[in-house]
Structure 1
Amino acid sequence: MKLTNDNVIAPIRGQGFRILWERLKEHPLARIGPGLITGVADDDPSGIATYSQAGAQFGLNMLWTMPLAFPLMAAIQSMCGRIGRVTGKGLAANIKTTFPPAVLLVVVSLLLIANILNIAADVAAMGEVAELVTGFDRHLMTAFFVFGTLLLQVFIPYHRYVFFLKWLTFSLLAYAIVLFTVHVPWAEVATRTVWPKFQFNSTTAAVIVGIFGTTISPYLFFWQASEEVEDMLAQRDAVPLVLDGHAAVDELRRIRWDTWSGMLYSDITAYFIILATAVTLNVAGVRDIDTAAQAASALRPLAGDFAYTVFALGILGVGLIGVPVLAGSAGYALSEAMGWKSGLERKASDACGFYGVIAVSVLAGLVIQYSPISPMKALFWSAVINGVVAVPLMVVIIVLASMKSVMGEFTASRLIIALGWIATAVMGAAAVRMFIPG
């Protein structure tokens, strides 16, 4: 056999990639659970638009919402993770076996509609930002992101690409970096975080509703529970804790740390987004922001090209995480409700229904770009539906996490349950206020 550069170097390259992959799998980031990705997906492009509007419209006076939201969102998400790991089933599967069929039907139907509308808003924002950064047509870039994320989910096993999604979580640091490019009155920031000044009227209420609605969202509940099941199935000899509790101490400690740290990362980022837009857009008199891309564009003349570019790239990074989470949560919910095989580790041929839901959700989000429906209208209706479904779903989650018949000896603690009920009350008040005119 004649030796050439290709047949000598190719095996070395192949071995090099295998060594690199094995080293990456040993990286501490690879051992972080679903909480981190769930937290970052919470700050998706539509969420960034909401936080940017809050900062632009009210300045520093909406910073208080993030310290309040943190323990509430973390408590609900930790219950979802616990339910998944203890029972070995996703949220929809547990609802199916515990509650009347009507409960599952209503929750899953509303979730699917809300997720599709949210995907439409997110991919529109990503396309718009990509056009700003690259100069390519926004609709072309939107299609690129849609098909890219879809192919990734359908054809690449989850354990192979989830690690790279975790690296994308660093894109949230963009919003902290922006603060180094502008003047920040830190003493006033600290004061307004605990003692805000605003008049509570319908406009203020609408912004507060939007903040809590985008921070505590139903699709995150389904995603985290199902990803705990995925992680369990990926471990050799791992079984649901309700069947074998030997690993319970370590696993439940991991879920607590993973979830609370992931939600803290998400919450701090949202705080930084509100702060960054408050000290730039609000100070300059820019009070109305419709999209995340508008927020990035408005930053350019105020904070410079660097801040603008960093802010825009952050939107793309979290969008690449948020869209798969939205589509994946829809796939898990409907598949568990229908009794279909599901899981991002399965081949497409083994879980046709599951991947079909993902494909339809993402492609429907793309189709909306070419319909008379405005992406911002899609975002509005997504928020309305999430507000409707979040409260009863949170009640269901708390009940599930409290039931010994479901959780065995691993029911949630009284503190977590109490925080869950407070979160439900806050979201309930927000949802009611959303439907009160004036």
Structure 2
Amino acid sequence: MTNTTIDTTAGAPRAAVLDDAHIGDIQGALGTIKLDDTAPRTGLSAKLKTLLAIVGPGLIVMVGDNDAGAFATYGQAGQNYGTHLLWTLLLLVPVLYVNQEMVLRLGAVTGVGHARLILERFGKFWGAFSVIDLFLLNALTLVTEFIGITLATGYLGLPKAASVVLAAAIIIASAFTGSFRRFERVAIALCAASLLLVPIYFMVHPHVSQMARDFVVPNMPGGTGQLSTVMLLIIGIVGTTVAPWQLFFQQSYVIDKRITPRFMKYEKADLWIGIVVVVIGAAAMMGFTAAAFAGTHGFGQFTDAGDIATGLQAKAGRLAGVLFAIALLDASIIGAFAVSLSTAYAIGDVFGIRHSLHRGVKGAKGFYAVYAGLVATAAAIVLIPGSPLGLLTEGVQTLAGVLLPSASVFLLLLCNDKAVLGPWVNGPKTNAFTSAVVGVLVTLSIILTASVLFPDISSGAILDIMAACGIVGVLAAGYAFTRRRTGTKEDPIDRTGRDTWRMPALATLSRPTMSTARKIGMGALRTYLLIAMILVVIKIVEVALGR
């Protein structure tokens, strides 16, 4: 089935799969596939059973991204601008799919987590940056999940301290069972609970025809006078929907679930299910929030997700507010699951420690210690009296927008590494689309950084930044096209036998040679991101200190 094996003999090179717990039966929440089950799936019943066993990674990573920060961002869009920004969700669908399809491919084919691949293929310098970025952003994101928990339980009239401690205990205990299947069953149950947003939608009765129009017709509400404010919100929607932790989580979770290239089409179906669920939830939030605040004094005056529950209660009754609070609590917990796991997986990858939900606490002490430590620390920060919780939420969204281009660049490079993916490497169309996405993300990151440093930035300045980035992008595309036309023509990619192809052991692969142009480009991007991140953090601290 595979050329990847676990060799534990003395002096043997480290295998591609770093943890032997990642090899065995697929034990999903909704079914099992035996390791030696190589029978073809020909009938509808067999295909459905296989899909049910595979479902999990794509669904959890997508629904986990509709977390507390997403509730605040989508709620702000609906309360302040109605449904005029719904079109952003439709544009993000191909971005979500292409990004996550690439990482699930990397996970199934390589058996190695995202952080480890970056470290091994690009060296310690770049690997350290990627892990530091992830750890910093994930730690702050986890705090926002607990902020969401306090807002939800506060609306429900529950004591803050007890609610936070209980939620942290549930989040930790669900992963500490030593059973991948039990954890996934809890996670998928939470994913199903996210559909509580749908009945709220029907209780509030948004204007369906207006929503349908705003879904397909791009609209910039408020005109040029509010361009800077609207652009920042759009960047927030991008940052909360396409988050860096998703890449690290899904790749490692696919590996931990023991999914191989043979089941790629089922995992892609799982990803599409997750995308559909997340878009339905996001659209429902924009729709019912817009309807709840239209014509009220609260329209255009967004504060936090807790205020949305109050507005829903005023519009459609107490039940609507309660359902929203429960959905917010559910989203915060599943977000905390995913963010904590992505960090624990990455740390395990980089330091070579055992990291699998198939192992008990005694069999992977470091992995579980990182997971529990992150959750406990985030819960403690939220309980500190006077903590600038609102500022932390805004800061996380800002940093996510600033750092996202870096993660996307590494993803694109890895998916063009033939030694790593062999017959699974990207085709020309995927590369062209992903390169365009990276260009857009860099542009949005620059706009976001400029707006944080210069709060009074004008709409004209934002348009100038967009124009300058557009010119640079066109020149870069022209240069790449010219090099492709004049350079040595590459042989077509041989896709035969890819269902059983696995990456050889990492130690047997020679590190790719980077061209001078690529080194300069990556160095420039990293320098910008490092400076931007430092400046944003300084700005956030200054605001927190009241300067």
- The TM-score, its normalising length taken from structure 1, stands at 0.87
Give how far 1:185 is off.
2.0
Structure 2 letter corresponding to 1:109:
I
Quote the Cα distance in structure 2 between the aligned partners of 1:126 and 1:179. 22
Task: State the shift of 1:387 in Å.
Answer: 2.0
State the alpha-carbon separation in 1 of the partners of residues 85 and 435 from structure 2: 23
Q: Which residue of 2 aligns with 1:13?
A: none
Question: Residue 152 of structure 1 corresponds to which residue in structure 2?
Answer: 174
Q: Distance in 1 between matches of 2:122 and 2:401?
A: 21
What is the number of residues matched between the two proteins?
403
| Residue 373 of structure 1: how far off its partner (Å) | 3.1
Q: Deviations over 1:1-49 (max 9, x none)?
A: xxxxxxxxxxxxxxxxxxxx99964787554130001110010112111
Equivalent residue number for residue 347 of structure 1 = 360
The secondary structure found in structure 2 opposite 1:427 is helix
Which amino acid is 2:378 matched to?
Answer: G
The alpha carbon displacement at 1:375 in A equals 2.1
Confirm whether residue 426 of structure 1 aligns to residue 448 of structure 2. no
- 1:359 and 2:372 equivalent? yes
1:217 aligns with 2:239: no
- Give the match for residue 178 of structure 1: 200
Correspondence for 1:252: 264
Where does 1:59-208 land on structure 2 (aligned, <5 Å)? Answer: 59-133=82-156, 135-193=157-215, 194-198=217-221, 199-200=223-224, 201-208=227-234
Displaced runs of 4 or more, over 6 A = none
Distance change >3 Å, CA 203–CA 92, structure 1 → 2: same
Q: 1:44–1:122: 8 Å Cα contact kept in structure 2? A: yes
1:230, 1:343 within 8 Å by CA — same for their partners in 2?
yes
The amino acid that maps onto 1:43 is: N
Equivalent residue, structure 1, for 2:315: 302
Tell me how far 1:222 sits from its aligned partner: 0.5
Is the aligned partner of 1:291 residue 2:314?
A: no
Query: Which structure: greater helix fraction?
Result: 1
CA distance in 1, matches of 2:29, 2:360: 25
Distance in 1, Cα, partners of 2:56 & 2:105: 12
Question: Is contact 2:29-2:185 (8 Å) kept?
Answer: no
2:23 corresponding residue in structure 1: none
Secondary structure of the structure 2 residue equivalent to 1:408: helix
Q: Residue 78 of structure 1 contacts residue 260 of structure 1 at CA under 8 Å; is this kept in 2?
A: no
Contact 2:312 2:320 in 1 (8 A): yes
Q: What displacement does 1:110 show?
A: 1.8
Alignment equivalent of 2:349, drawn from 319, 336, 340 = 336
**Residue 240 of structure 2 is aligned to residue 228 of structure 1:** no
How far 1:299 sits from its partner (Å)? 1.2
Segments of 5+ residues of structure 2 without an aligned counterpart are 1-26, 33-48, 458-547
1:407 is matched with 421
- Change in CA separation of 1:38 and 1:57 when aligned onto 2, cut-off 3 Å: same
RMSD (CA atoms):
2.1
SS in 1 for 2:424: coil
Rounded Cα–Cα distance in structure 1 between residues aligned with 2:276 and 2:440: 19
Question: What are structure 1's unaligned runs of at least 5 residues?
Answer: 1-20, 234-239, 242-246
How far residue 88 of structure 1 moved from its aligned partner, in angstroms, is 0.7
Q: Which residue of 2 aligns with 1:391?
A: 405
**Residue deviations 1:145-191, cap 9 Å, x none?**
01211122123422222123212212222222112112322222222
1:278 aligns with 2:302: no
| Partner residue in 1 for 2:479 | none
Identity rate, percent: 25
Larger radius of gyration: 2
Cα-to-partner distance string for 1:323-374 (whole Å, 9 max, x where unaligned): 0101000111122112222112222222222112112211111121133432
Q: Which residue among 30, 46, 49 is the counterpart of 2:72?
A: 49
- The 2-side partners of 1:44 and 1:430 are apart by 22
C-alpha displacement of 1:132: 2.1
Take 1:353 and 1:282, find their aligned partners in 2: how far apart are those partners?
50
